Amino acid sequence: MSETNKDATRLLGPGEYWFEDLRVGDHYTTGHIVITDAHIVGFAGLSGDFFDLHMDDEFARSQGFQARVAHGLLGLAMADGLKNRSSVRIMAVASLGWNWNFKGPILAGDRIGVTVEVKARRLTSKGDRGIATLGFTVTNQHGAVVQDGETALLTRLKPQGDTAA
């Protein structure tokens, strides 16, 4: 059975959340991280993406940006990392995929944070695990949305006999 309608909006507090604990509309905000020049250069080295927009301030300015721009996939990776180190812990197994949008530049020195919302939830076809669709909104220190999107997250069911919420 798939659940996609919001019954009630609920701010999740710190703790562990199994599939059964999640409701559509549940949401929380992660901590923040400042994107540094070292992040951008390190990501270029890891990914092999040395495109001028990411490595050359002069080129970036010639394209209308204030300075060189962090890789979009670096923003996605940092957003997922913020989710994973949050005090709200969804009892996950693995990410099943992403649908992601790059809305604005992330520059060295920008401080980003993420709002995570449960958009949908359903059991797998075998019924032994859950799939939660999480919506992400990534904002910078000015409140501007710089990235957003969704991930399908394979989640664990509560162990049998565990009645704690």
Residue extents of the structural domains in the chain: 12-155
Per-residue pLDDT tens over the stretch 119-155: 999 999 999 999 999 999 999 999 999 999 999 999 9
The superfamily (CATH) of domain 12-155 is: Hotdog Thioesterase (3.10.129.10)
- Please give the radius of gyration of the chain, using alpha carbons only, rounded to the nearest integer: 18
Where on the phi/psi map is residue 48: left (φ > 0), alpha (ψ -120 to 50), or beta?
left
Question: Is the whole model's pTM more than 0.85, yes or no?
Answer: yes
pLDDT value at 76 more than 50: yes
Residues 38-56 pLDDT 10s: 999 999 999 999 999 999 9
